[in-house]
């Protein structure tokens, strides 16, 4: 320390060189053969031991299984004998109560009892329910609208409906059923039933419904069963016809505009337009545009036919005539008045109706049939337009 150098202490090996250290003790025991490890078992010894153990277990299981199978066989044999005794008693009792029968008959009766049941008198009743007879009721609801316009203003309108029914039934006289006329919008003013086929039925719990008990024999044609009139506040306008007349010298021109209401649900069909021709006009001089107008001399009118008019569609027709002379008319020196050409239009609407009347059917209480209804609805319009 005086010269400033650092001395490293020497390691202490006393622990490893001590006579009592574990390493020295183990080495001493090995030299003196006092430490002996057990020998590792060989593969052959393990195999022999395992096979012996498995063989003994298999022999034990085989012995136990044979005993169990023997006991089960004895139990099954005993149960079979008991079943045979009970079956013999049942067959003996059945034969004594119903007379001598073969065993096959007994089995047949037992099987047949699964599809039939017995009444108190012993007669068998089939458990399957036969299908109910089916009756088809075809209903046609037809409504007619008649309206008149004067100077493009509505002067009158009336709507009437007719309910026609046809029955297809497997029975010659048919089956009775119930017809209900529902008027939730209160558009029906009055209704009449055909008393030959319909009888009013009291159903106070049915609101806004008129019920009838109907009985109609099957026929090839429809029969009218109900007829009703609607209130005057029901005013549908499926079609409008407007006319305009102009005179040029000794000739007269008439323009017609036909319009389908855009609110129509269906298109109009079979449109016929009749225009009456006054006596001061020479009908035989008719010229139409577009071509197609037909002059009828006996009835003094011009006829146009249009097969179809879509909802909201409109078109124009023009007709030109020669006028008779004022000498023939006896009006020389007088101012001529415009002749009037009243127009009458008629058309149909299919798969639709003008009112909200509904027709339904139901089974009568006294009958058990299956009903099927097929309904067809249509309306017809008769429209008259006058210029004055």
pLDDT in tens, 270-299: 999 999 999 999 999 999 999 999 999 999
Token pair recorded at residue 353: 């109706």
Token pair recorded at residue 338: 């415009």
Q: Of 50-54, 68-72, 160-164, which gets the smallest average pLDDT?
A: 50-54
Q: What is the pLDDT of residue 77?
A: 56
Name the pLDDT band for 104 (thresholds 50, 70, 90). Answer: very low
Q: What is the pLDDT of residue 10?
A: 45
Q: What is the pLDDT of residue 188?
A: 96
Q: What is the pLDDT of residue 151?
A: 84
Question: For residue 124, what are the β-bridge partners?
Answer: 118
Name the pLDDT band for 4 (thresholds 50, 70, 90). Answer: very low
Residue 103: exposed, middle, or buried by beta-carbon count in 10 A (0-12, 13-18, 19+)?
exposed
Distance CA 165, CA 377 (A): 12
Q: What is the pLDDT of residue 27?
A: 54
- 37 pLDDT higher than 90: no
Q: What angle do CA 116, 119, 120 make, to 5 degrees?
A: 150
Question: Is the model more confident about 68 or about 130?
Answer: 130
Strands 134-150 and 153-168 turn out to be: antiparallel
Q: What is the pLDDT of residue 17?
A: 43
Say if residue 69 is preceded by a cis peptide, omega within 30 of 0: no
Q: Of 2-11, 212-221, 230-239, which gets the smallest average pLDDT?
A: 2-11
- 327 pLDDT higher than 90: no
Q: What is the 3-state secondary structure (H, E, C) of 216-258?
A: CCCCCCCEEEEEEEECCCCCCCCEEEEEEEEEECCEEEEEEEE
Q: Of 125-129, 143-147, 154-158, 263-267, which gets the smallest average pLDDT?
A: 125-129
Q: What is the pLDDT of residue 176?
A: 94
- 86 pLDDT higher than 50: no
* Range 191-215 average pLDDT: 93
- 317 pLDDT higher than 50: yes
Q: What is the pLDDT of residue 387?
A: 75
Element (H, E) at 361: strand 358-363
Name the pLDDT band for 267 (thresholds 50, 70, 90). Answer: very high
* Range 119-145 average pLDDT: 79
- 202 pLDDT higher than 60: yes
Average pLDDT, the chain: 78
Tell me the CB-side half-sphere exposure of residue 177, using CA atoms within 13 A. 28
Name the pLDDT band for 365 (thresholds 50, 70, 90). Answer: confident
Token pair recorded at residue 274: 């009749």
Q: What is the pLDDT of residue 319?
A: 97
Q: What share of the chain has pLDDT > 90, as a percent?
A: 55
- 195 pLDDT higher than 60: yes
Q: Of how many residues is the chain composed?
A: 388
Q: Of 85-94, 166-175, 304-313, which gets the smallest average pLDDT?
A: 85-94
Q: What is the pLDDT of residue 358?
A: 96
The dihedral over CA atoms of 317, 320, 326, 331, expressed in degrees to the nearest 10, equals 10
DSSP state of 322: E
- 373 pLDDT higher than 50: yes
Question: Is the model more confident about 132 or about 17?
Answer: 132
- 160 pLDDT higher than 70: yes
């Amino acid at each position: 320390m005086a010269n400033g150098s650092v001395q490293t202490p020497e390691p202490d090996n006393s622990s490893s060189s001590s006579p009592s250290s574990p390493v020295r003790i183990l080495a001493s025991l090995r030299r003196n053969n006092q430490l002996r490890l057990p020998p590792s078992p060989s593969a052959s010894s393990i195999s022999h031991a395992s096979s012996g153990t498995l063989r003994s277990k298999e022999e034990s299981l085989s012995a136990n299984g044979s005993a169990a199978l023997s006991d089960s066989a004895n139990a099954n044999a005993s149960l079979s004998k008991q079943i045979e005794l009970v079956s013999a008693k049942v067959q003996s009792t059945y034969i004594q109560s119903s007379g001598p029968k073969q065993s096959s008959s007994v089995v047949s009766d037992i099987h047949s009892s699964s599809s039939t049941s017995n009444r108190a008198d012993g007669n068998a009743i089939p458990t399957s329910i036969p299908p109910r007879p089916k009756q088809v009721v075809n209903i046609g609801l037809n409504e007619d609208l008649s309206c008149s316009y004067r100077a493009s203003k509505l002067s009158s309108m009336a709507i009437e409906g007719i309910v026609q029914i046809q029955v297809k039934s497997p029975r010659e006289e048919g089956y009775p059923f119930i017809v209900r006329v529902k008027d939730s919008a209160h558009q029906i003013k009055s209704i009449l039933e055909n008393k030959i086929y319909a009888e009013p039925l009291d159903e106070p719990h049915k609101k806004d419904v008129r019920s009838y008990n109907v009985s109609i024999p099957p026929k090839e044609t429809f029969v009218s069963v109900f007829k009703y009139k609607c209130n005057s506040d029901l005013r549908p306008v499926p079609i409008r016809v407007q006319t305009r007349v102009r005179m040029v010298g000794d000739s007269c021109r008439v323009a017609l505009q036909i319009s389908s209401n855009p609110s129509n649900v269906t298109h109009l069909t079979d449109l016929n337009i009749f225009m009456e021709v006054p006596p001061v006009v020479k009908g035989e001089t008719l010229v139409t545009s577009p071509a197609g107008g037909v002059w009828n001399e006996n009835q003094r009118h011009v006829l146009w036919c249009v097969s179809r008019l879509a909802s909201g569609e409109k078109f124009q027709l023009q007709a030109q005539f020669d006028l008779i002379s004022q000498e023939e008319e006896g009006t020389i020196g007088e101012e001529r008045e415009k002749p009037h050409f009243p127009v009458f239009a008629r058309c149909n609407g299919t798969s639709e109706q003008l009112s909200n009347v509904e027709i339904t059917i139901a089974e009568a209480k006294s009958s058990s049939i299956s009903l099927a209804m097929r309904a067809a609805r249509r309306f017809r319009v008769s429209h008259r337009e006058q210029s004055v």
